[in-house]
Amino acid sequence: MSVLPNARSLRVLLVGRHFWPHASFDAAGFLAQLATDLYRSGVHVEVVTPRYAASWPEHFHFREIPVHRPAAAPRSDWSMGRYVRHLTTWLKEHSESFDLILADSIREESQAVVEAASATGIASVLVSAGWGDESDPAWWQSSRSARRCAATAKEADAIIVKNAAAERWMIAQGFPQSLLHRIEIGFTSSVNNLEDNRAAARNRLAAVNSDLTTRPESEVVLCTGRMQKNGTMQWLASTARPLIANRPDLRFWFVGDGPERQSLYDFLRADGVRNSIAMPGSFVDTTDLMIAADVFVHGDRQGLDFGLPSAVSAAIPIVAAEIAELRSLLTPIGKPIKRIASAAPSDKPDDPQDEAVAWFSPGKSKSLRVAIRRTLDDMPQAKQRALQLRRDLVRSRPQTKAIEAYIDLMTRVVQEKSNGKSRIATDSNSIETAS
């Protein structure tokens, strides 16, 4: 890995729409983890993110990392233009003390980053966010202003893509191969899912929110993320009543917030399972939740940058939708990715013992219910498979390697930018001397 003369000489400004305390947004968790890991690696990191309330302070520190919130968050198309202009002005005024600006998506913030970096002569790096239909390249097709974000992105010094599908998609849309750099999502093993930790975690959670109180033998199904239409939580809610009928002590934890929170609560209450359900809101740190739960359910393309990797790191048995992006993320490098059948898969795979994850058909409540029941019926084996999945993914795609790749890329981009400015200055001096 190439390094600058002094590890602390690399100064990076991260820009993102969502950061602490927006725990229900996967992008916030990803950006917080990236900032923390870069800081621990010796990089000087600061973060720029919008204010979502007038009472929020414009400056604070997150784990010793300075965070700036100079602009009000956009709430409409009109305020989006004002937000981008304000952000661009702030970046132009403050970015000269940094070597590089990195945007965590290629949306409106990326326009401000590229313009400000160009004006101040520093490097700019963009991260292509999202997966599949939820990705930035898919969003670019939604409007003329979104297409402008794609056009501006080609002026950045580097673009980071997180998977091969996104890279192919961007090349097809005219992005040069030399501009794209693939750095896949990394995995850690920082959480130990031991029984003594499980009991302690449940006690801590019960002290924070009485709805999370459970008995030692209670089984807990956890789902985290945004509460929105056609999301994982809606599918899980539709399976709760029949599962609880067979397992009266079963608990479901819906952790997060979103526009469908009230309708989800009303549905569960009308279904008569309110006493078995907890909806405690968002948690900035999901470590205790992952340790305390028995099963983690994930059913869509959101949450693949932080939420699902956190479940893998906790070695919690995973029930996941049979989606290509999830298969790709949860398959260790070097192991062939199983092809997803074009027809709807059966409720019970032919070889469930060979699978590290319990897969279900997207949007089908019966398939999800069977996958959860099968996992709960054989918890010792499910835990062993979860531990093996964590070992395999940490070996093939460790988070430390991903952070090294980020630092290596940023260092090279900064050096190339510096060398380019030096060549321009030398050429200008030569012209003046010749004159």
At 139-185, the pLDDT tens digits run 999 999 999 999 999 999 999 999 988 999 999 999 999 999 999 99
Phi, psi values for residue 213, rounded to 5°? -70, 130
Joined tokens for residue 7: 């590890």
CA distance 407 to 411: 6
Confidence of residue 258 (pLDDT cuts 50, 70, 90): very high
Placement of tokens 């003390």 in the chain: 97
Torsion of CA 396, 399, 404, 407, to 10 degrees: 140
Cβ 290 vs Cβ 203: under 8 Å: no
Confidence of residue 192 (pLDDT cuts 50, 70, 90): low
Residue 92 has pLDDT above 50, yes or no: yes
Cβ 398 vs Cβ 85: under 8 Å: no
CA distance 70 to 63: 19
Torsion of CA 255, 192, 380, 338, to 10 degrees: 70
Closest Cα partner for 385 from 423, 347, 418, 353? 353
Cβ 77 vs Cβ 87: under 8 Å: no
Cβ 1 vs Cβ 408: under 8 Å: yes
Q: What is the mean pLDDT of the chain?
A: 89
371-388 as b/e: b if 16+ CB within 10 A: bbbbbbebeeebbebbbe
**Diameter of the chain by CA atoms?**
90
Joined tokens for residue 181: 């750099």
CA distance 124 to 405: 16
Cβ 266 vs Cβ 274: under 8 Å: no
- pLDDT tens profile 200-255: 999 999 999 999 999 989 999 999 999 988 889 999 999 999 999 999 999 999 99
SS3 at position 347: coil
Beta bridge partners of 277: 252
Confidence of residue 351 (pLDDT cuts 50, 70, 90): very low
Distances (CA, A) of 182 to 126, 266, 307: 12, 43, 20
- Contacts with 172 (C-beta within 8 Å, 6 or more apart), sequence order: none
Distances (CA, A) of 366 to 252, 343, 373: 17, 16, 10
Residue with more model confidence, 305 or 192: 305
Phi, psi values for residue 133, rounded to 5°? -70, -15
Placement of tokens 């916030």 in the chain: 28
Placement of tokens 């979103």 in the chain: 258
The single-letter code of the amino acid at 82 is R
Beta bridge partners of 45: 12
SS3 at position 322: coil
| Cα Rg, the chain, nearest whole Å | 23
CA distance 14 to 102: 5
- pLDDT tens profile 25-52: 999 999 999 999 999 999 999 999 999 9
Cβ 44 vs Cβ 66: under 8 Å: no
Helix extents (H) in 158-251 = 164-172, 195-208, 232-246
Placement of tokens 């059966």 in the chain: 346
What is the predicted pLDDT for the residue at 78? Answer: 86
SS3 at position 223: strand
Stated pTM of the model: 0.90
